[in-house]
Amino acid sequence: MKKSNLHSCNVLDVGASGGLEAKQIWRFSAGNGEVSLTAEQRVVPPEPLPAKLVAKDWRTLWQRKLNIAWFPADQVFLRVAHLPAADRGELLAMVELQLEKLSPLPVTQIVWSVEFLPQHAENMQTVIVVIAARAVVEEFLGKLEGDGYQPDRLEIPQLHELLATRFEENGIWIYPSREGTRNLCLVAWWYGGALQQLQLVHLPESPNRGALLVEQLTKAAWAGEMEGWFTVQTRCHVAGDEAALARWEPALSQWAGHKVTLVDPLSKTALAELAARLAARNESPANLLPAEHAARYQQRFIDRLWMSGLGAVIAAYVVGVIIYFAALQVIKFQKYSLDKQVASVSDSYTNAVKLKERVEVLQNQLNLKYAALDSLRAVSELLPPDLTLTEFALQRGQELRLQGTAPSQDQVNQLFDYNAALRKVTANGELVFSKVEQPIYDTRGQTIAWRFNSELKRAETQ
Domains of the chain (ranges, CATH numbers): 6-294 (3.30.420.380), 365-456 (3.30.1360)
Return the top range by mean pLDDT from 224-228, 438-442, 449-453. 224-228
Number of Cβ atoms within 10 Å of the Cβ of 421: 15
Predicted confidence (pLDDT) at residue 2 exceeds the cutoff of 80: no
pLDDT at 129: 95
On the question of a cis peptide bond just before residue 72, with omega within 30 degrees of 0, the verdict is: no
pLDDT at 355: 83
Please indicate whether residue 231 or residue 296 has the higher confidence score (pLDDT): 231
Q: Which range among 201-205, 236-240, 262-266, 305-309 shows the weakest confidence by mean pLDDT?
A: 305-309
Q: Counting Cβ atoms within 10 Å, is residue 138 exposed (0-12), middle (13-18) or buried (19+)? A: middle
Q: Tell me the β-bridge partners of 190.
A: 171, 195
Q: 122 falls in which pLDDT band (50, 70, 90)? A: confident
Predicted confidence (pLDDT) at residue 460 exceeds the cutoff of 60: no
Predicted confidence (pLDDT) at residue 30 exceeds the cutoff of 50: yes
pLDDT, mean over the chain? 83
Predicted confidence (pLDDT) at residue 257 exceeds the cutoff of 70: yes
CB 34 within 8 A of CB 277: yes
In angstroms, the Cα distances linking 249 to 202, 252, 415 are 18, 5, 105
Q: 298 falls in which pLDDT band (50, 70, 90)? A: very low
Q: Counting Cβ atoms within 10 Å, is residue 318 exposed (0-12), middle (13-18) or buried (19+)? A: exposed
Helix (H), strand (E) counts: the chain? 10, 20
Please indicate whether residue 292 or residue 102 has the higher confidence score (pLDDT): 102
For helices 209-227 and 242-256, the axis angle rounded to 10 degrees is: 50
pLDDT at 115: 92
Report the percent of the chain where pLDDT is more than 70: 91
- pLDDT tens-digit map of 174-186: 998 876 667 889 9
